[in-house]
Amino acid sequence: MQDTAPVAAQRLLDAGTQAALLVPCRPICQQFVGLIARVLEESGISTVCLNMRREVAEDVKPPRTLFVKFPSGAPLGPAGDTETQHGVILEALEVLVSAS
């Protein structure tokens, strides 16, 4: 977190990134995306984290979180269900622009 996340943030800034959707795939990743979100936000990149476990988000307190009811490994919804996946991404974008 102290070494890699700031380097990643700088690379994203260098590429012109203004926002990032952080998508965890494994249970432990839900904590990491929240921590990474803080580093990105401090660098000026707005973030939205997907999260399947509310207690993890309450502990880590990422700046913006969209809670989803999908299992680990499928945070955007079932494999091949592009309509659901698209809907999750659109909802995350709505969180990005509407959350204070």
Domain residue limits, the chain: 4-98
Q: What is the pLDDT along the chain (100 residues), one digit of tens a residue?
A: 678 889 999 999 999 999 999 999 887 788 888 889 999 999 999 999 999 888 888 888 888 999 999 988 899 999 999 999 999 999 999 999 997 6
Q: What is the pLDDT of residue 31?
A: 84
Q: What is the pLDDT of residue 100?
A: 64
pTM of the full predicted structure? 0.85
∠ CA 83-88-94, rounded to 5°: 125
Which of 14-19's residues contact partners 24+ apart within 8 Å by CB, and which partners? 17/45, 18/45, 18/46, 19/45, 19/46, 19/47, 19/48, 19/96
Q: What is the pLDDT of residue 19?
A: 95
Domain 4-98 architecture: 3-Layer(aba) Sandwich (3.40)
